[in-house]
Protein backbone atom coordinates (compact mmCIF):
# COMPACT_ATOMS: atom_id res chain seq x y z
CA UNK A 1 0.00 0.00 0.00
CA UNK A 2 1.47 3.35 -1.09
CA UNK A 3 0.18 5.22 1.94
CA UNK A 4 3.37 5.51 3.85
CA UNK A 5 3.09 1.97 5.06
CA UNK A 6 0.35 2.87 7.54
CA UNK A 7 -2.24 0.48 6.15
CA UNK A 8 -4.76 2.69 7.88
CA UNK A 9 -8.19 4.10 7.20
CA UNK A 10 -8.23 7.70 8.37
CA UNK A 11 -11.28 9.96 8.37
CA UNK A 12 -11.70 13.65 9.14
CA UNK A 13 -15.18 14.62 10.33
CA UNK A 14 -15.84 18.36 10.06
CA UNK A 15 -19.13 19.91 11.24
CA UNK A 16 -20.86 22.22 8.73
CA UNK A 17 -21.10 25.92 9.72
CA UNK A 18 -20.91 24.73 13.28
CA UNK A 19 -21.98 27.70 15.41
CA UNK A 20 -24.92 28.35 13.08
CA UNK A 21 -26.12 24.77 13.48
CA UNK A 22 -25.84 25.05 17.25
CA UNK A 23 -27.93 28.24 17.23
CA UNK A 24 -30.50 26.77 14.83
CA UNK A 25 -30.93 23.80 17.14
CA UNK A 26 -31.65 26.22 19.96
CA UNK A 27 -33.97 28.32 17.77
CA UNK A 28 -35.84 25.91 15.46
CA UNK A 29 -37.78 28.81 13.94
CA UNK A 30 -34.55 29.69 12.08
CA UNK A 31 -34.45 26.35 10.26
CA UNK A 32 -33.97 26.77 6.48
CA UNK A 33 -33.49 30.53 6.83
CA UNK A 34 -30.23 32.24 5.88
CA UNK A 35 -28.31 32.81 9.05
CA UNK A 36 -24.98 34.07 10.40
CA UNK A 37 -23.49 34.34 13.87
CA UNK A 38 -22.19 37.72 14.95
CA UNK A 39 -20.18 38.87 17.87
CA UNK A 40 -22.27 41.97 18.34
CA UNK A 41 -20.93 45.46 18.74
CA UNK A 42 -22.35 48.80 17.81
CA UNK A 43 -20.03 49.33 14.87
CA UNK A 44 -21.66 48.01 11.70
CA UNK A 45 -23.63 45.33 13.50
CA UNK A 46 -20.69 43.30 14.73
CA UNK A 47 -18.28 40.78 13.23
CA UNK A 48 -19.47 37.64 11.53
CA UNK A 49 -17.86 34.48 12.82
CA UNK A 50 -19.96 31.78 11.11
CA UNK A 51 -22.24 31.73 8.07
CA UNK A 52 -24.64 29.02 6.93
CA UNK A 53 -24.67 27.70 3.38
CA UNK A 54 -27.94 29.42 2.50
CA UNK A 55 -26.44 32.84 3.27
CA UNK A 56 -23.17 31.95 1.51
CA UNK A 57 -25.17 31.78 -1.75
CA UNK A 58 -25.70 35.53 -1.39
CA UNK A 59 -21.99 36.18 -0.92
CA UNK A 60 -22.09 36.51 2.87
CA UNK A 61 -18.77 35.46 4.38
CA UNK A 62 -16.88 35.57 7.63
CA UNK A 63 -14.89 38.69 6.86
CA UNK A 64 -18.03 40.86 6.59
CA UNK A 65 -19.71 42.96 9.24
CA UNK A 66 -23.36 42.35 10.18
CA UNK A 67 -24.49 45.44 8.30
CA UNK A 68 -22.72 44.37 5.10
CA UNK A 69 -24.28 40.91 5.38
CA UNK A 70 -27.74 42.51 5.55
CA UNK A 71 -26.99 44.46 2.39
CA UNK A 72 -25.99 41.31 0.51
CA UNK A 73 -28.77 39.15 1.93
CA UNK A 74 -31.66 41.25 3.30
CA UNK A 75 -33.45 38.17 4.64
CA UNK A 76 -30.49 37.04 6.72
CA UNK A 77 -30.95 36.37 10.44
CA UNK A 78 -28.03 37.55 12.50
CA UNK A 79 -27.74 35.66 15.77
CA UNK A 80 -25.57 37.18 18.44
CA UNK A 81 -23.10 35.11 20.39
CA UNK A 82 -24.51 34.79 23.91
CA UNK A 83 -22.85 36.83 26.61
CA UNK A 84 -22.20 36.11 30.23
CA UNK A 85 -20.34 38.31 32.67
CA UNK A 86 -20.08 40.95 29.93
CA UNK A 87 -18.11 38.64 27.62
CA UNK A 88 -18.79 36.11 24.91
CA UNK A 89 -20.11 32.85 26.28
CA UNK A 90 -19.11 29.93 24.11
CA UNK A 91 -20.42 27.24 26.43
CA UNK A 92 -23.28 26.17 24.12
CA UNK A 93 -20.80 25.55 21.31
CA UNK A 94 -18.42 23.67 23.57
CA UNK A 95 -21.21 21.49 24.92
CA UNK A 96 -22.45 20.74 21.41
CA UNK A 97 -18.90 19.83 20.42
CA UNK A 98 -18.75 17.42 23.36
CA UNK A 99 -21.99 15.78 22.22
CA UNK A 100 -20.53 15.20 18.77
CA UNK A 101 -17.30 13.77 20.18
CA UNK A 102 -19.34 11.40 22.34
CA UNK A 103 -21.17 10.05 19.28
CA UNK A 104 -17.87 9.65 17.44
CA UNK A 105 -16.33 7.74 20.31
CA UNK A 106 -19.08 5.12 19.91
CA UNK A 107 -17.60 4.14 16.55
CA UNK A 108 -13.88 3.91 17.26
CA UNK A 109 -11.58 4.20 20.22
CA UNK A 110 -8.98 6.14 18.26
CA UNK A 111 -10.08 9.77 17.93
CA UNK A 112 -8.10 12.99 17.80
CA UNK A 113 -10.14 16.12 18.42
CA UNK A 114 -8.55 18.58 16.01
CA UNK A 115 -10.65 21.65 16.91
CA UNK A 116 -14.06 22.57 18.34
CA UNK A 117 -15.78 21.04 15.31
CA UNK A 118 -13.30 18.63 13.74
CA UNK A 119 -11.95 15.21 14.64
CA UNK A 120 -9.72 12.61 13.01
CA UNK A 121 -10.90 9.02 13.37
CA UNK A 122 -8.89 5.88 12.81
CA UNK A 123 -11.40 3.45 11.31
CA UNK A 124 -8.90 0.72 10.42
CA UNK A 125 -10.24 -1.79 12.97
CA UNK A 126 -13.98 -1.08 12.51
CA UNK A 127 -13.51 -1.45 8.75
CA UNK A 128 -11.71 -4.78 9.21
CA UNK A 129 -14.50 -6.01 11.48
CA UNK A 130 -17.10 -4.92 8.96
CA UNK A 131 -15.34 -6.69 6.09
CA UNK A 132 -15.00 -9.85 8.20
CA UNK A 133 -18.70 -9.97 8.88
CA UNK A 134 -20.00 -8.90 5.45
CA UNK A 135 -19.28 -10.12 1.97
CA UNK A 136 -17.94 -7.22 -0.05
CA UNK A 137 -19.73 -8.37 -3.19
CA UNK A 138 -23.07 -8.22 -1.44
CA UNK A 139 -22.64 -4.59 -0.40
CA UNK A 140 -25.21 -2.30 -1.91
CA UNK A 141 -22.80 0.55 -1.79
CA UNK A 142 -24.28 2.59 -4.60
CA UNK A 143 -27.51 3.01 -2.67
CA UNK A 144 -25.69 3.73 0.58
CA UNK A 145 -23.23 6.18 -0.86
CA UNK A 146 -25.41 8.85 -2.41
CA UNK A 147 -23.60 11.71 -0.71
CA UNK A 148 -20.16 10.22 -1.39
CA UNK A 149 -17.77 11.68 -3.94
CA UNK A 150 -14.52 10.23 -5.15
CA UNK A 151 -11.81 12.89 -5.43
CA UNK A 152 -10.53 13.26 -8.96
CA UNK A 153 -13.56 11.51 -10.47
CA UNK A 154 -16.59 13.11 -12.06
CA UNK A 155 -19.83 12.74 -10.18
CA UNK A 156 -22.22 10.46 -12.09
CA UNK A 157 -24.59 13.31 -12.87
CA UNK A 158 -21.81 15.74 -13.74
CA UNK A 159 -23.08 17.80 -16.68
CA UNK A 160 -19.55 18.95 -17.56
CA UNK A 161 -18.27 15.40 -17.90
CA UNK A 162 -17.13 15.98 -21.47
CA UNK A 163 -14.88 18.85 -20.41
CA UNK A 164 -12.78 16.56 -18.28
CA UNK A 165 -12.73 13.33 -20.20
CA UNK A 166 -9.47 12.30 -18.56
CA UNK A 167 -11.41 11.66 -15.40
CA UNK A 168 -13.44 8.52 -14.86
CA UNK A 169 -16.89 8.76 -13.32
CA UNK A 170 -17.57 8.00 -9.70
CA UNK A 171 -19.74 5.02 -10.69
CA UNK A 172 -16.98 3.59 -12.91
CA UNK A 173 -14.48 4.00 -10.09
CA UNK A 174 -16.75 2.08 -7.72
CA UNK A 175 -17.21 -0.69 -10.30
CA UNK A 176 -13.51 -0.98 -11.11
CA UNK A 177 -12.29 -0.74 -7.52
CA UNK A 178 -10.98 -4.17 -6.86
CA UNK A 179 -7.73 -3.46 -5.04
CA UNK A 180 -7.99 -4.15 -1.33
CA UNK A 181 -7.00 -0.54 -0.52
CA UNK A 182 -9.86 0.84 -2.56
CA UNK A 183 -12.32 -1.63 -1.11
CA UNK A 184 -11.48 -0.64 2.45
CA UNK A 185 -12.16 2.98 1.56
CA UNK A 186 -15.55 2.06 0.12
CA UNK A 187 -16.39 0.14 3.29
CA UNK A 188 -15.11 3.09 5.33
CA UNK A 189 -17.42 5.37 3.34
CA UNK A 190 -20.38 3.17 4.30
CA UNK A 191 -19.38 3.43 7.96
CA UNK A 192 -18.80 7.18 7.74
CA UNK A 193 -22.20 7.59 6.14
CA UNK A 194 -23.65 5.82 9.22
CA UNK A 195 -21.58 7.93 11.59
CA UNK A 196 -22.89 11.07 9.94
CA UNK A 197 -26.45 9.79 10.06
CA UNK A 198 -26.04 8.98 13.76
CA UNK A 199 -24.70 12.47 14.49
CA UNK A 200 -27.70 13.92 12.64
CA UNK A 201 -30.21 11.68 14.44
CA UNK A 202 -28.75 11.96 17.91
CA UNK A 203 -27.35 15.47 17.97
CA UNK A 204 -29.15 17.13 15.07
CA UNK A 205 -26.13 18.39 13.11
CA UNK A 206 -24.89 17.73 9.60
CA UNK A 207 -21.22 17.28 8.90
CA UNK A 208 -18.84 16.53 6.05
CA UNK A 209 -16.00 14.03 5.97
CA UNK A 210 -12.81 13.10 4.16
CA UNK A 211 -11.92 9.40 3.86
CA UNK A 212 -8.43 8.24 2.98
CA UNK A 213 -5.32 6.48 4.28
CA UNK A 214 -3.69 9.29 6.23
CA UNK A 215 -4.41 12.60 7.96
CA UNK A 216 -3.08 14.79 5.17
CA UNK A 217 -5.30 13.20 2.50
CA UNK A 218 -8.35 12.91 4.80
CA UNK A 219 -8.18 16.62 5.71
CA UNK A 220 -7.80 17.64 2.08
CA UNK A 221 -10.70 15.41 1.04
CA UNK A 222 -13.05 16.70 3.77
CA UNK A 223 -13.00 20.22 2.33
CA UNK A 224 -13.74 19.12 -1.23
CA UNK A 225 -17.51 18.68 -0.92
CA UNK A 226 -19.49 20.52 1.76
CA UNK A 227 -22.01 20.68 3.35
CA UNK A 228 -23.40 17.29 4.36
CA UNK A 229 -21.26 15.26 1.97
CA UNK A 230 -18.22 13.03 2.11
CA UNK A 231 -15.27 12.46 -0.17
CA UNK A 232 -13.06 9.43 -0.66
CA UNK A 233 -9.51 10.23 -1.72
CA UNK A 234 -7.92 6.97 -2.89
CA UNK A 235 -4.21 6.64 -3.50
CA UNK A 236 -4.90 6.00 -7.21
CA UNK A 237 -6.42 9.50 -7.55
CA UNK A 238 -3.65 11.41 -5.77
CA UNK A 239 -1.82 12.41 -8.96
CA UNK A 240 -4.99 13.73 -10.64
CA UNK A 241 -5.99 15.65 -7.49
CA UNK A 242 -2.52 17.03 -6.74
CA UNK A 243 -2.10 18.31 -10.30
CA UNK A 244 -4.48 21.15 -9.36
CA UNK A 245 -4.13 21.34 -5.56
CA UNK A 246 -2.42 24.50 -4.36
CA UNK A 247 0.46 23.96 -1.92
CA UNK A 248 -1.24 26.06 0.76
CA UNK A 249 -4.26 23.75 0.80
CA UNK A 250 -2.18 20.90 2.18
CA UNK A 251 -1.69 20.32 5.90
CA UNK A 252 1.67 21.73 7.06
CA UNK A 253 2.15 23.71 3.86
CA UNK A 254 -0.30 26.47 4.77
CA UNK A 255 2.39 28.53 6.50
CA UNK A 256 6.04 29.44 6.14
CA UNK A 257 7.21 26.06 4.87
CA UNK A 258 4.70 26.19 2.01
CA UNK A 259 5.84 29.71 1.11
CA UNK A 260 9.47 28.58 1.09
CA UNK A 261 8.69 25.65 -1.19
CA UNK A 262 6.74 27.91 -3.51
CA UNK A 263 9.50 30.54 -3.63
CA UNK A 264 12.44 28.18 -3.99
CA UNK A 265 10.90 25.94 -6.63
CA UNK A 266 8.63 28.50 -8.30
CA UNK A 267 5.72 26.07 -8.20
CA UNK A 268 2.11 26.44 -7.10
CA UNK A 269 0.60 22.96 -7.03
CA UNK A 270 1.59 19.98 -4.90
CA UNK A 271 1.82 17.72 -7.94
CA UNK A 272 4.63 19.84 -9.40
CA UNK A 273 6.86 18.64 -6.56
CA UNK A 274 6.98 15.28 -8.29
CA UNK A 275 9.20 16.83 -10.97
CA UNK A 276 12.03 17.02 -8.42
CA UNK A 277 14.17 14.07 -7.45
CA UNK A 278 14.63 13.10 -3.83
CA UNK A 279 18.23 14.28 -4.08
CA UNK A 280 17.27 17.76 -5.31
CA UNK A 281 14.56 18.18 -2.67
CA UNK A 282 17.00 17.13 0.05
CA UNK A 283 19.64 19.54 -1.25
CA UNK A 284 17.18 22.40 -1.22
CA UNK A 285 15.28 21.68 2.01
CA UNK A 286 17.52 19.38 4.05
CA UNK A 287 17.52 15.61 4.29
CA UNK A 288 14.35 15.04 6.25
CA UNK A 289 12.24 17.89 4.86
CA UNK A 290 13.29 16.85 1.38
CA UNK A 291 12.22 13.24 2.00
CA UNK A 292 8.98 14.42 3.58
CA UNK A 293 8.13 16.59 0.55
CA UNK A 294 9.11 13.76 -1.79
CA UNK A 295 6.60 11.47 -0.06
CA UNK A 296 3.92 14.09 0.51
CA UNK A 297 3.49 14.89 -3.18
CA UNK A 298 2.94 11.17 -3.74
CA UNK A 299 0.19 11.09 -1.10
CA UNK A 300 2.33 9.49 1.60
CA UNK A 301 2.16 10.78 5.18
CA UNK A 302 3.19 9.05 8.41
CA UNK A 303 1.58 11.41 10.94
CA UNK A 304 -0.14 9.50 13.74
CA UNK A 305 -3.60 10.14 15.17
CA UNK A 306 -2.85 11.24 18.70
CA UNK A 307 -5.98 9.73 20.31
CA UNK A 308 -7.15 12.71 22.31
CA UNK A 309 -10.70 14.02 22.57
CA UNK A 310 -10.35 16.37 25.47
CA UNK A 311 -8.25 19.51 25.46
CA UNK A 312 -4.99 19.71 27.40
CA UNK A 313 -5.87 23.08 28.83
CA UNK A 314 -9.01 25.07 29.57
CA UNK A 315 -8.81 28.81 29.28
CA UNK A 316 -10.73 32.03 28.99
CA UNK A 317 -9.62 35.54 28.23
CA UNK A 318 -10.72 39.01 27.31
CA UNK A 319 -9.21 41.80 25.25
CA UNK A 320 -9.30 45.40 26.32
CA UNK A 321 -8.10 47.27 23.24
CA UNK A 322 -7.93 51.03 22.80
CA UNK A 323 -9.97 53.05 25.23
CA UNK A 324 -11.18 49.95 27.04
CA UNK A 325 -7.68 49.15 28.33
CA UNK A 326 -7.57 48.42 32.06
CA UNK A 327 -5.88 51.18 34.02
CA UNK A 328 -6.98 50.68 37.60
CA UNK A 329 -6.70 47.95 40.17
CA UNK A 330 -10.46 47.96 40.48
CA UNK A 331 -10.92 47.22 36.79
CA UNK A 332 -8.28 44.49 36.76
CA UNK A 333 -9.77 42.80 39.80
CA UNK A 334 -13.27 43.05 38.39
CA UNK A 335 -12.23 41.22 35.24
CA UNK A 336 -10.06 38.72 37.08
CA UNK A 337 -13.09 37.78 39.08
CA UNK A 338 -15.29 37.38 35.97
CA UNK A 339 -12.67 35.28 34.23
CA UNK A 340 -11.96 33.18 37.31
CA UNK A 341 -15.64 32.44 37.79
CA UNK A 342 -15.98 31.34 34.19
CA UNK A 343 -12.86 29.22 34.47
CA UNK A 344 -13.97 27.53 37.69
CA UNK A 345 -17.38 26.83 36.19
CA UNK A 346 -15.78 25.17 33.20
CA UNK A 347 -13.24 23.29 35.30
CA UNK A 348 -16.00 21.89 37.51
CA UNK A 349 -17.94 20.70 34.47
CA UNK A 350 -14.76 19.21 33.07
CA UNK A 351 -14.07 17.40 36.33
CA UNK A 352 -17.50 15.81 36.33
CA UNK A 353 -17.24 14.83 32.69
CA UNK A 354 -13.62 13.75 32.47
CA UNK A 355 -12.69 12.86 36.08
CA UNK A 356 -9.57 14.98 35.99
CA UNK A 357 -8.25 17.94 37.89
CA UNK A 358 -6.07 20.80 36.68
CA UNK A 359 -3.00 21.46 38.78
CA UNK A 360 -1.81 24.80 37.53
CA UNK A 361 -3.04 28.12 36.21
CA UNK A 362 -1.16 30.38 33.86
CA UNK A 363 -2.16 34.02 33.79
CA UNK A 364 -1.17 35.87 30.63
CA UNK A 365 -1.46 39.63 30.45
CA UNK A 366 -0.42 42.10 27.82
CA UNK A 367 0.77 45.47 29.09
CA UNK A 368 0.30 48.35 26.69
CA UNK A 369 3.35 49.16 24.59
CA UNK A 370 4.90 45.71 24.97
CA UNK A 371 5.48 43.41 22.06
CA UNK A 372 4.57 40.28 23.95
CA UNK A 373 2.47 39.23 26.89
CA UNK A 374 3.80 38.24 30.28
CA UNK A 375 2.86 34.80 31.55
CA UNK A 376 2.96 33.53 35.13
CA UNK A 377 2.11 30.06 36.34
CA UNK A 378 0.92 29.16 39.82
CA UNK A 379 -0.33 26.01 41.46
CA UNK A 380 -4.03 25.21 41.73
CA UNK A 381 -4.68 23.02 44.78
CA UNK A 382 -8.48 23.36 44.46
CA UNK A 383 -11.01 24.96 42.16
CA UNK A 384 -11.41 28.06 44.26
CA UNK A 385 -12.36 31.36 42.65
CA UNK A 386 -10.83 33.51 45.37
CA UNK A 387 -7.53 31.69 45.14
CA UNK A 388 -7.35 32.18 41.38
CA UNK A 389 -8.33 35.85 41.61
CA UNK A 390 -5.78 36.53 44.33
CA UNK A 391 -2.90 34.67 42.75
CA UNK A 392 -3.59 36.20 39.34
CA UNK A 393 -3.84 39.64 40.87
CA UNK A 394 -0.62 39.05 42.74
CA UNK A 395 1.11 38.02 39.52
CA UNK A 396 -0.16 41.02 37.57
CA UNK A 397 0.41 43.51 40.34
CA UNK A 398 3.99 42.38 40.93
CA UNK A 399 4.83 42.19 37.26
CA UNK A 400 3.24 45.47 36.27
CA UNK A 401 4.57 48.15 38.55
CA UNK A 402 1.94 50.53 39.86
CA UNK A 403 2.49 54.26 39.78
CA UNK A 404 0.91 54.63 43.15
CA UNK A 405 0.03 52.04 45.68
CA UNK A 406 -2.71 54.00 47.33
CA UNK A 407 -5.35 51.50 48.04
CA UNK A 408 -8.34 52.54 46.00
CA UNK A 409 -6.49 54.48 43.31
CA UNK A 410 -3.93 51.96 42.23
CA UNK A 411 -3.10 52.92 38.67
CA UNK A 412 -0.47 52.10 36.11
CA UNK A 413 1.37 54.29 33.67
CA UNK A 414 0.39 51.86 30.96
CA UNK A 415 -2.86 49.95 30.67
CA UNK A 416 -3.47 46.24 30.32
CA UNK A 417 -4.73 45.16 26.91
CA UNK A 418 -5.49 41.53 27.45
CA UNK A 419 -5.87 39.02 30.28
CA UNK A 420 -6.12 35.31 29.78
CA UNK A 421 -6.31 32.53 32.36
CA UNK A 422 -5.47 29.00 31.37
CA UNK A 423 -5.72 25.89 33.55
CA UNK A 424 -3.53 22.94 32.66
CA UNK A 425 -1.47 20.02 33.94
CA UNK A 426 -4.48 17.79 34.38
CA UNK A 427 -4.27 14.62 36.46
CA UNK A 428 -6.87 11.88 36.56
CA UNK A 429 -8.71 11.50 39.83
CA UNK A 430 -10.50 8.46 41.21
CA UNK A 431 -14.15 8.53 42.25
CA UNK A 432 -13.40 8.95 46.00
CA UNK A 433 -11.02 11.77 45.26
CA UNK A 434 -13.60 13.33 42.97
CA UNK A 435 -16.21 13.29 45.71
CA UNK A 436 -14.00 15.05 48.20
CA UNK A 437 -12.90 17.55 45.58
CA UNK A 438 -16.47 18.36 44.66
CA UNK A 439 -17.31 18.77 48.34
CA UNK A 440 -14.33 21.05 48.71
CA UNK A 441 -15.47 23.05 45.72
CA UNK A 442 -19.01 23.40 46.95
CA UNK A 443 -17.65 24.90 50.18
CA UNK A 444 -15.80 27.51 48.15
CA UNK A 445 -16.91 30.95 49.24
CA UNK A 446 -17.66 33.03 46.19
CA UNK A 447 -15.03 35.69 46.06
CA UNK A 448 -16.73 38.98 46.61
CA UNK A 449 -14.86 41.87 45.12
CA UNK A 450 -11.33 41.89 46.48
CA UNK A 451 -10.62 45.43 47.45
CA UNK A 452 -7.14 46.86 47.18
CA UNK A 453 -6.93 47.14 50.94
CA UNK A 454 -7.76 43.52 51.56
CA UNK A 455 -5.87 42.15 48.64
CA UNK A 456 -2.42 42.35 50.12
CA UNK A 457 -3.38 40.51 53.27
CA UNK A 458 -5.24 37.80 51.42
CA UNK A 459 -2.73 37.21 48.67
CA UNK A 460 -1.15 33.83 48.88
CA UNK A 461 2.55 34.41 48.92
CA UNK A 462 4.97 32.79 46.57
CA UNK A 463 6.28 30.68 49.39
CA UNK A 464 2.84 29.36 50.16
CA UNK A 465 2.19 28.72 46.52
CA UNK A 466 5.30 26.67 46.03
CA UNK A 467 4.93 24.71 49.26
CA UNK A 468 1.30 24.13 48.79
CA UNK A 469 1.33 21.78 45.92
CA UNK A 470 3.86 20.93 43.36
CA UNK A 471 6.89 18.79 43.86
CA UNK A 472 10.10 19.98 42.21
CA UNK A 473 9.60 18.20 38.89
CA UNK A 474 6.02 19.37 38.69
CA UNK A 475 7.11 22.91 39.42
CA UNK A 476 9.63 22.80 36.66
CA UNK A 477 7.03 21.42 34.31
CA UNK A 478 4.62 24.15 35.29
CA UNK A 479 7.29 26.75 34.67
CA UNK A 480 7.86 25.26 31.26
CA UNK A 481 4.34 26.25 30.36
CA UNK A 482 5.02 29.93 30.88
CA UNK A 483 5.67 32.18 27.95
CA UNK A 484 9.41 32.79 27.88
CA UNK A 485 9.08 36.51 27.50
CA UNK A 486 9.91 38.04 30.81
CA UNK A 487 10.18 41.77 30.71
CA UNK A 488 12.44 44.12 32.64
CA UNK A 489 9.53 44.80 34.92
CA UNK A 490 9.35 41.14 35.79
CA UNK A 491 13.02 40.96 36.55
CA UNK A 492 12.80 43.83 38.99
CA UNK A 493 10.39 42.10 41.34
CA UNK A 494 10.78 43.05 44.95
CA UNK A 495 12.93 40.89 47.21
CA UNK A 496 9.91 40.11 49.36
CA UNK A 497 8.50 38.08 46.51
CA UNK A 498 11.66 36.11 45.89
CA UNK A 499 9.85 32.81 46.04
CA UNK A 500 7.36 33.90 43.46
CA UNK A 501 10.18 35.20 41.30
CA UNK A 502 11.99 31.90 41.57
CA UNK A 503 8.83 30.01 40.86
CA UNK A 504 8.13 32.10 37.82
CA UNK A 505 11.63 32.16 36.41
CA UNK A 506 11.57 30.34 33.11
CA UNK A 507 13.94 27.49 32.59
CA UNK A 508 16.59 28.56 30.10
CA UNK A 509 16.38 26.68 26.90
CA UNK A 510 19.26 26.15 24.60
CA UNK A 511 19.90 27.97 21.38
CA UNK A 512 17.47 27.55 18.58
CA UNK A 513 14.49 26.22 20.52
CA UNK A 514 14.58 29.23 22.80
CA UNK A 515 14.76 31.56 19.82
CA UNK A 516 11.94 29.67 18.26
CA UNK A 517 9.80 29.93 21.38
CA UNK A 518 10.44 33.65 21.50
CA UNK A 519 9.47 33.86 17.89
CA UNK A 520 6.29 31.90 18.60
CA UNK A 521 5.43 34.26 21.43
CA UNK A 522 6.05 37.28 19.20
CA UNK A 523 4.12 35.77 16.34
CA UNK A 524 1.23 35.04 18.67
CA UNK A 525 1.18 38.62 19.82
CA UNK A 526 1.34 39.91 16.26
CA UNK A 527 -1.64 37.74 15.39
CA UNK A 528 -3.43 38.91 18.49
CA UNK A 529 -2.76 42.50 17.43
CA UNK A 530 -3.94 41.77 13.90
CA UNK A 531 -7.14 40.23 15.15
CA UNK A 532 -7.64 43.00 17.65
CA UNK A 533 -7.22 45.57 14.94
CA UNK A 534 -10.38 44.31 13.32
CA UNK A 535 -12.40 44.08 16.48
CA UNK A 536 -14.36 46.38 18.67
CA UNK A 537 -13.71 46.39 22.38
CA UNK A 538 -16.27 43.76 23.29
CA UNK A 539 -15.52 41.67 20.29
CA UNK A 540 -13.62 38.88 21.90
CA UNK A 541 -15.29 35.77 20.55
CA UNK A 542 -12.68 35.18 17.93
CA UNK A 543 -9.88 35.71 20.40
CA UNK A 544 -11.66 33.55 22.93
CA UNK A 545 -12.05 30.84 20.40
CA UNK A 546 -8.41 30.95 19.56
CA UNK A 547 -7.54 30.23 23.16
CA UNK A 548 -9.39 26.98 22.65
CA UNK A 549 -6.07 25.91 21.32
CA UNK A 550 -4.33 23.60 23.69
CA UNK A 551 -0.84 23.78 25.06
CA UNK A 552 1.47 22.77 22.27
CA UNK A 553 2.50 19.18 22.89
CA UNK A 554 5.95 19.95 21.52
CA UNK A 555 7.03 22.95 23.62
CA UNK A 556 4.34 23.46 26.23
CA UNK A 557 3.57 26.86 24.75
CA UNK A 558 -0.05 27.89 24.55
CA UNK A 559 -0.87 28.48 20.94
CA UNK A 560 -3.73 30.43 19.43
CA UNK A 561 -5.95 28.48 17.06
CA UNK A 562 -5.13 30.92 14.27
CA UNK A 563 -1.43 30.11 14.45
CA UNK A 564 -1.60 26.52 15.60
CA UNK A 565 -1.11 25.10 12.15
CA UNK A 566 1.83 27.34 11.46
CA UNK A 567 3.24 26.67 14.92
CA UNK A 568 3.08 22.91 14.36
CA UNK A 569 4.60 23.42 10.91
CA UNK A 570 7.49 25.10 12.63
CA UNK A 571 8.03 22.19 15.03
CA UNK A 572 7.69 19.82 12.19
CA UNK A 573 10.30 21.67 10.15
CA UNK A 574 12.49 21.90 13.26
CA UNK A 575 12.33 18.17 13.88
CA UNK A 576 13.04 17.44 10.26
CA UNK A 577 16.08 19.72 10.40
CA UNK A 578 17.28 18.18 13.65
CA UNK A 579 16.97 14.69 12.23
CA UNK A 580 18.82 15.62 9.09
CA UNK A 581 21.68 17.02 11.20
CA UNK A 582 21.89 13.71 13.05
CA UNK A 583 21.83 11.73 9.83
Biggest alpha carbon–alpha carbon distance for the chain: 82
A 10 A CB-CB count for 544 gives 22
- Asked whether position 542 contacts ligand TTP by CB under 6 A, the answer is yes
**Segment contacting ligand TTP by CB under 6 A, of 16-24, 186-194, 330-338, 371-379:** 16-24
Whether 118 is catalytic is yes
Q: Is 511 left (phi over 0), alpha (psi -120 to 50) or beta?
A: left
Is the Cβ–Cβ distance between 152 and 335 less than 8 Å?
no
Task: Round to whole Å and give the CA distance between 231 and 217.
Answer: 10
* Shorter beta-carbon distance to ligand TTP: residue 298 or 346: 346
- The CB-of-111 to ligand TTP minimum distance in angstroms stands at 17
- Helices vs strands, H then E, count in the chain: 24, 16
Preceding omega of 128 cis (within 30 degrees of 0): no
Task: Round to whole Å and give the CA distance between 524 and 30.
Answer: 37
* Shorter beta-carbon distance to ligand TTP: residue 235 or 541: 541
Is the Cβ–Cβ distance between 273 and 261 less than 8 Å?
yes
- The CB-of-382 to ligand TTP minimum distance in angstroms stands at 32
In order, the DSSP letters of 277-304 are: -HHHHHHHH-HHHHHHHHHHTTT---PP
Among 3, 14, 122, 557, binds ligand TTP (CB under 6 A): 14
User: How many residues make contact with ligand TTP (CB under 6 A)?
Assistant: 15
* Shorter beta-carbon distance to ligand TTP: residue 81 or 273: 81
- List CB contacts of 552: < 8 A, sequence separation 6 or more: 558, 559, 564, 567, 568, 571
- The CB-of-19 to ligand TTP minimum distance in angstroms stands at 4
- Asked whether position 222 contacts ligand TTP by CB under 6 A, the answer is no
A 10 A CB-CB count for 83 gives 13
Among 3, 54, 112, 117, binds ligand TTP (CB under 6 A): 117
A 10 A CB-CB count for 526 gives 13
- Asked whether position 116 contacts ligand TTP by CB under 6 A, the answer is yes
- Asked whether position 226 contacts ligand TTP by CB under 6 A, the answer is yes
- Asked whether position 379 contacts ligand TTP by CB under 6 A, the answer is no
Quick note: the x/- pattern for ligand TTP over 58-97, rule CB under 6 A, is: ----------------------------------------
Q: Which of 23, 54, 112, 118 is catalytic?
A: 118
- List CB contacts of 378: < 8 A, sequence separation 6 or more: 360, 361, 363, 391, 392, 395, 465, 503
- The CB-of-545 to ligand TTP minimum distance in angstroms stands at 4
**Segment contacting ligand TTP by CB under 6 A, of 97-105, 106-114, 169-177, 541-549:** 541-549
Among 50, 224, 421, 528, binds ligand TTP (CB under 6 A): 50
**Segment contacting ligand TTP by CB under 6 A, of 165-173, 250-258, 296-304, 539-547:** 539-547
**Segment contacting ligand TTP by CB under 6 A, of 12-20, 176-184, 242-250, 464-472:** 12-20
Pairing of β 47-51 and β 77-80 = unpaired
* Shorter beta-carbon distance to ligand TTP: residue 14 or 112: 14
By CB under 6 A, name the binding residues for ligand TTP: 14-19, 49-50, 116-117, 226-227, 541-542, 545
- Give the active site residues: 118
Amino acid sequence: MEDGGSGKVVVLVDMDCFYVQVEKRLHPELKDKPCAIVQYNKWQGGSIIAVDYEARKYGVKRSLKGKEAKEKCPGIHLVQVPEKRRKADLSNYRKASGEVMKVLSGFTSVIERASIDEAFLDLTEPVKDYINSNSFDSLEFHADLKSTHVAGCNDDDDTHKDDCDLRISRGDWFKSSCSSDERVLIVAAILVQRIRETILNEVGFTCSAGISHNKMLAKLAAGMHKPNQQTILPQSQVDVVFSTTLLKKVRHLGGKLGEQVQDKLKIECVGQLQEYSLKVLQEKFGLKTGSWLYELCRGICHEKISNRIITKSIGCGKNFPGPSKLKTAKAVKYWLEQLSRELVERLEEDMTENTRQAQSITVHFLPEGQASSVARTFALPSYNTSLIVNNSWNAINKGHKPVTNEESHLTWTTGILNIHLSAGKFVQCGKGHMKSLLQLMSSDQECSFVSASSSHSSIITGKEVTQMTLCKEEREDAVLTTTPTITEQDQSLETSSMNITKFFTPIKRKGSLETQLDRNAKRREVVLEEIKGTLESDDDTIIDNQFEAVLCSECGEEVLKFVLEEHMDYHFALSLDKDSQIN
